[in-house]
């Protein structure tokens, strides 16, 4: 199906800037880190986007990881259409939210009960309040470069859009808002242990991305996550696994299944909403029942568990059986090797970290292991490579602090051609330096 052009991307961006700050509804969509004008999407299908000028792109962003089946999957579209015909929001309980909570609990052993919300940020806000309420402690610990949404207490040394824009945190976040936030380097056991020695008795929670994917993709070093789990038990802090990106993508049970972890609480997003606004907090009943209306920790949301998002989430999870994960991981493994060979053979230093179905890309001489090494990567090379690939019809994230997402809709042939494009793009970048 073709799209009739309705105006140039430049024209739409000019109009957007008149009524939307920066012309975008989320900073990560801007091209601030790579330069140029963002394109405006008219429609999407499978592995591809089509912009308002009618140009088609192979999409390796996939709604920042939400579209694991690819865009406009027929089962998801049908589920949402059927749900919408019955009404888009009730502000009352539905059977679908019960079924979705059951599906999450069935897949994730650490989860007995689930509270559905509308965004990853809302889930992180809820889990911090719940941890503080359950423990009676104030402080939370996070790792530099891990992004847990834009709530004030966690918007410090964050990756993703904050890193892309070069911001230390955000204007409007007061010193008091982050006074109870402790930040240490990822993959640094000694720094973590030192922080526990100082703050352990006051620490309500330790938040960690199962696989950090907002400073590029940074695999946890062997034993690091297990060390966090053990030490949290020792000091009485709750371990919170942020599975907004990894949940239902790395494995049926996410990063905690992949690494054999048993966190106290977890947050989910992206895949679980099927491309619609939905996220979740999950954990054992004893902790989750501290949420209102059962317990004393208040949380509410008019659109929480709305019928469209729950219908989409159920449709997606229904397609994610073990065979789907095996196929996707095999596809990503082949692509990772092809991409690495293509770029390095053109003379550019590249790191292509992979964890199961997740894939990163950093222009660096050595593996990225933390936020400091992520910042030291060659982001100018990434920007040049981004545009060289975009000219060849391949859309990467417009920031070197993000991750590539391959969906089940991408074919081996498409990914092989993408690797060929990457070789040509790398030659172009190398030749211009």
Active site residue 147: yes
**Which listed residue (59, 113, 147, 325) is catalytic?**
147
Gap between the Cα atoms of 250 and 131, Å rounded? 26
* 8 Å CB contact between 421 and 394: yes
Cβ contacts of residue 180 below 8 Å, gap of 6+?
138, 139, 140, 153
Residue 419, number of CB atoms within 10 A of its CB? 18
Q: Which of 150-159, 174-183, 332-341 has the highest mean pLDDT?
A: 332-341
The CATH number of 74-319, from 2.70.70.10, 3.50.50.100, 3.30.390.10, 3.40.640.10, is: 3.40.640.10
Q: What is the mean pLDDT of the chain?
A: 93
Residue 162 has what pLDDT? 45
Q: Indicate if the pLDDT at residue 300 is higher than 60.
A: yes
CA nearest neighbour of 84 among 317, 307, 318, 275: 307
Gap between the Cα atoms of 38 and 397, Å rounded? 11
**Which listed residue (113, 139, 270, 375) is catalytic?**
270
Q: Indicate if the pLDDT at residue 161 is higher than 90.
A: no
Q: Indicate if the pLDDT at residue 343 is higher than 70.
A: yes
Q: Which helix (H) or strand (E) holds 417?
A: helix 412-431
CA nearest neighbour of 315 among 103, 65, 64, 43: 103
**Which listed residue (51, 242, 264, 370) is catalytic?**
242
The domain spans of the chain are 9-69+321-401, 74-319
Active site residue 270: yes
Residue 433 has what pLDDT? 74
Active site residue 298: no
pTM for the whole structure:
0.93
Q: What are residue 203's DSSP bridge partners?
A: 139
The CATH number of 9-69+321-401, from 3.40.50.300, 3.90.1150.10, 3.40.630.30, 3.40.50.10790, is: 3.90.1150.10
CA nearest neighbour of 188 among 401, 373, 369: 369
pLDDT band for position 222 (50/70/90)? very high
């Amino acid at each position: 199906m073709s799209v009739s052009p309705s105006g140039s991307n430049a024209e739409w961006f000019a109009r957007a800037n008149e009524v939307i700050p920066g012309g975008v509804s989320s900073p990560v969509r801007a091209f601030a880190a790579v330069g140029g004008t963002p394109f405006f999407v008219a429609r999407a299908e499978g592995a591809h986007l089509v912009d308002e000028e009618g140009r088609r792109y192979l999409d390796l962003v996939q709604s920042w990881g939400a579209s694991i089946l690819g865009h406009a999957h027929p089962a998801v579209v049908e589920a949402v259409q059927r749900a919408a015909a019955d009404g888009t929001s009730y502000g009352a309980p539905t059977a679908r939210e019960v079924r979705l909570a059951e599906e999450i609990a069935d897949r994730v052993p650490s989860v007995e009960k689930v509270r559905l919300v509308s965004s990853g940020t809302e889930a992180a806000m809820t889990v911090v309040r719940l941890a503080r309420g359950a423990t009676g402690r104030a402080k939370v610990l996070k790792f530099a470069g891990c992004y847990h949404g834009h709530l004030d207490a966690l918007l410090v040394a964050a990756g993703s859009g904050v890193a892309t824009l070069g911001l230390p945190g955000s204007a409007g976040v007061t010193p008091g808002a982050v006074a109870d936030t402790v930040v240490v380097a990822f993959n640094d056991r000694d720094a973590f242990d030192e922080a526990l020695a100082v703050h352990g008795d006051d620490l309500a929670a330790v938040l960690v991305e199962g696989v950090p994917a907002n400073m590029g993709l940074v695999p946890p070093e062997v034993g690091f996550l297990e060390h966090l789990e053990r030490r949290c038990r020792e000091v009485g802090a709750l371990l919170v696994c942020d599975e907004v990106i990894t949940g239902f993508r790395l494995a049926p049970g996410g990063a905690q299944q992949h690494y054999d972890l048993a966190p106290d609480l977890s947050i989910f997003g992206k895949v679980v909403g099927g491309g619609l606004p939905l996220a979740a907090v999950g954990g054992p009943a004893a902790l989750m029942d501290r949420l209102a209306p059962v317990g004393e920790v208040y949380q509410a949301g008019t659109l929480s568990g709305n019928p469209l998002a729950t219908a989409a989430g159920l449709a997606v999870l229904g397609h994610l059986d073990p065979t789907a994960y095996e196929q996707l991981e095999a596809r990503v493994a082949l692509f990772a090797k092809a991409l690495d060979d293509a770029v390095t053979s053109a003379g550019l230093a590249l790191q292509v970290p992979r964890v199961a179905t997740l894939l990163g890309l950093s222009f660096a001489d050595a593996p990225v292991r933390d936020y400091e090494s992520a910042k030291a990567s060659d982001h100018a090379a990434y920007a040049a490579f981004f545009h060289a690939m975009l000219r060849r019809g391949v859309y990467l994230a417009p920031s070197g602090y993000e991750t590539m997402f391959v969906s089940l809709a991408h074919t081996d042939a498409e990914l092989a051609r993408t690797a060929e494009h990457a070789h040509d793009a790398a030659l172009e970048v190398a030749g211009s330096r």
